[in-house]
Amino acid sequence: MNDIIAFLQRSSYFVLLSRNRNYRSLWLGALISQMGDWFNLIASASLIEQLTGSNVALSGLFLARFLPLFLFSSVAGVFADRFSRRRILIFTDLARAVTVLGFLLVREPGDIWLLYLLTAVQFSLSAIFNPAKSAVIANIVEEEDLVTANALDSFTWSTMLALGALAGGIVADQFGIATAFLADAVTFLGAAFFVSRIRVPATLAQERASASSGGWLDFLDGLRYLRGEPFILIIGLTKAGGSLVWGAINVLEVNFAHDVFPLDGDGELTLGIIYALTGVGTGLAPLLFRRLFGDTPRRALLVIAVGFWFLGPGILALGAAPTFPLYGLATVLRTAGSGTIWVFSAAMLQMIVPDRFRGRVFAFEFAALTLTQSISVYWAGFAQDSLGWSLRAVTVGNGVAALGVAALWSAFALWALSRPALPIPERAPRGRVQEATP
């Protein structure tokens, strides 16, 4: 036990959390709010099932969660670059707490429209929260710790995916759906408390505001910036390219758990193990690759290429795995690739994008990611329902597509690395101050 404790104390995660109070507060807030997100999903889905028993109504829930994330990204990026990111995070957490309490008013089938409306409001606020959070990380974390910070975010998301879904199901089943909604509201209040403890330079928001054109002109400035910086545009599309092939896997693995490898009769145990292995791949691989290759922008290009070459074979192995242990190994391989792509592309943008454009760039990245993930999920359903493809055939098809994406990215990376210097703008001061006034 002492050896395990000593190892954890030496780990990059522990060192970052122990020495950086600002990032620790941000991480704790994300930890509990992500737990609440899964409480909300389980409770909302259960409520729709109880009131309507309709698959169409359930699909409407996911539509209400997706559309705001895509539609509000442009506004979110402008806010993140024009106003205090810390205050945006606090406001959206508090507003989501109030919004979630409104779910308690949904009590009969005629109230389903209200559930959809409240869900859309909640995820509109999430669309504003996400780019501000990604952008503020670069203001409170040392550049050499950006990969570790993003890896920890990815690992935390995967862990909360497993624990939050499990806990949400238990709470909703044992204490009722209303209790799950109340717990979700409390998590947002807790997240706002922790975020309020973050200290970032007040001058940053003032500098961004002074450079602002106002309204939609700010949004257009962001698009012109990306058009004028094609290298950054491609980095901003990296997650979208990966999500085009891994997005469907997040849905297909549910089918594998229930229909191919059910360990407990209905697949819930199988799915829990898959989520746990997802946390292993996404959490550990980026740190290993950072140790092996480093985390400068040039090395990040190489590491992202490695991630894509893990992703493709991993998906192919999922489709071909004859037993669950081999499927589990393929899951670790696949998520090592997706986690590496996610972490290093985010860290690279945080390193090379000037602070005054960072929010809009991350909003664009998130919108593109949401769009391609939806396309991928739709394709998986269409291929099975309309084309008659089997579950394994769809998975293998995505694996082949992933190899094609890996080849395209590798060609781009080799072109960029062959140049004396990367085609990126001169890097302005990152505006990071460890302890400053709000």
The pLDDT tens digits of the residues spanning 334-380 come to 999 999 999 999 989 988 888 888 888 888 888 888 888 888 888 88
148-166 residue pLDDT tens: 888 888 778 777 766 776 6
Give CA separation, 204 vs 24, 80, 357, 437, in Å: 21, 11, 12, 12
Instruction: Kindly state the greatest CA–CA separation across the chain.
Output: 65
Crossing angle (nearest 10°) for helices 55-71 and 112-140: 40
Find where tokens 């389980």 sit: 42
Say whether pLDDT at 7 is over 70. Answer: no
268-300 residue pLDDT tens: 678 778 877 887 888 788 888 988 888 788 899
Question: Residue 435: its pLDDT value, please?
Answer: 35
Find where tokens 């998986």 sit: 380
State the chain's mean pLDDT as an integer. Answer: 83
On whether the CB atoms of residues 355 and 80 are closer than 8 A, the answer is no
Question: Residue 264: its pLDDT value, please?
Answer: 67
Question: Residue 34: its pLDDT value, please?
Answer: 80
- Cα angle for residues 237, 84, 97 (degrees, 5° grid): 85
Give the contacts of 123 (CB within 8 A, at least 6 positions apart).
64, 65, 66, 68, 69
How confident is residue 201, by pLDDT bands cut at 50, 70 and 90?
low
Tokens read off for 269: 């145990």
Give the contacts of 134 (CB within 8 A, at least 6 positions apart).
346, 350, 358, 362, 366
Of all residues in the chain, the percent with pLDDT exceeding 90 is: 32
Q: Model-level pTM greater than 0.85?
A: no
Give CA separation, 149 vs 24, 32, 133, 298, 387, in Å: 10, 17, 12, 19, 42
Question: Residue 162: its pLDDT value, please?
Answer: 64
Say whether pLDDT at 210 is over 50. Answer: no
Overall average pLDDT of the 298-316 stretch: 94
How confident is residue 8, by pLDDT bands cut at 50, 70 and 90?
very low
Say whether pLDDT at 252 is over 90. Answer: no
Higher pLDDT, 383 or 436: 383
Say whether pLDDT at 394 is over 80. Answer: yes
Q: How many CB atoms lie within 10 A of CB 378?
A: 13
DSSP states of 289-324: HHHHH--SHHHHHHHHHHHHHHHHHHHHHHHH-SSH
Per the rule left: phi > 0, alpha: psi between -120 and 50, beta: everything else, 431 is: left
Spacing of C-alpha 88 from chain mean position = 18
